[in-house]
Amino acid sequence: MIKFFRKIRQKLLTENKFNRYFIYAIGEILLVVIGILIALQINNWNERQNLSNTELALIEELDDNLKASKKEIQLVIESHKQSIRWHKELIYHINKDLPYSNKLDTIFGNIATWASPYLTLSAFETLKIEGLGIIKSKKIKDWITLVYESDFNYIINDYDRYEWERAKQTTLPFAEKYIRRDLESDLAIPNDFDKLKRNNEFINLLHSNIWLRENGLELYELVIKDIDTLSNHIESELKLRRK
């Protein structure tokens, strides 16, 4: 009988040891699993934080680029306004049949020139690599698309390209034929101003240049409004995210 109880006692002790080891092993496994989950959460948080930092850095750079492009466009606007004034001055001389004046030297020196905007696009190029999805604000994404893919694209690939093509095909050949440039300055004089005043091709060229530059002014002023709107959205977002 004593032997029987001893066997039962030994069995219970063995089972208790097994249970303790089993519970210990389960605990170790749970600790490992929890550790992995925490590490994954920390890694995911770090990735989200890195993406957020990348996004903020990008939109900050984008805002700087927009300000630089706006200044460039404003310079072009002033150049266009000056060009229109010069062309109208020439038309006035023609319509009034006025004699040649030395002040026209500057006008003839710039008759075949125009201003091209050199837009700053580095942040947008980076954004295209990172993907527009990195930007959280839908409003900012929509305005980025409008400004860069519509406004800037039209300026570069339509309006300014037309200025280049027109200069190569029309304005420069005409200037080389009828206008002599001074080699030591930006001035120029017509070969024969009286004949030029009666040249319908020249008068048409002046009117076309005015029409083109006035359309350019409307375009550039609209683009500046879009730039301002996008900049305002970006600055509001940056203030909100830095709180």
Query: Using CB atoms within 10 A of its CB, is residue 199 exposed (0-12), middle (13-18) or buried (19+)?
Result: middle
Average pLDDT over residues 30-40: 56
Q: Where are the beta strands (DSSP E) in 81-211?
A: 179-181, 188-190
Residue 188's DSSP bridge partners are 181
**How many alpha carbons fall within 13 Å on the CB side of residue 214?**
11
Helix orientation angle between 122-130 and 2-95, rounded to the nearest 10 degrees: 150
pLDDT per residue as tens digits for the range 139-181: 999 999 999 999 999 999 999 999 999 999 999 999 999 999 9
Q: Which of 20-24, 61-65, 80-84, 199-203 has the lowest mean pLDDT?
A: 20-24
Name the pTM for this structure: 0.78
pLDDT per residue as tens digits for the range 54-74: 788 888 999 999 999 999 999
pLDDT for 12 beyond 80:
no
pLDDT for 43 beyond 60:
no
pLDDT for 53 beyond 80:
no
Task: Map out the domains of the chain as residue ranges.
Answer: 2-242
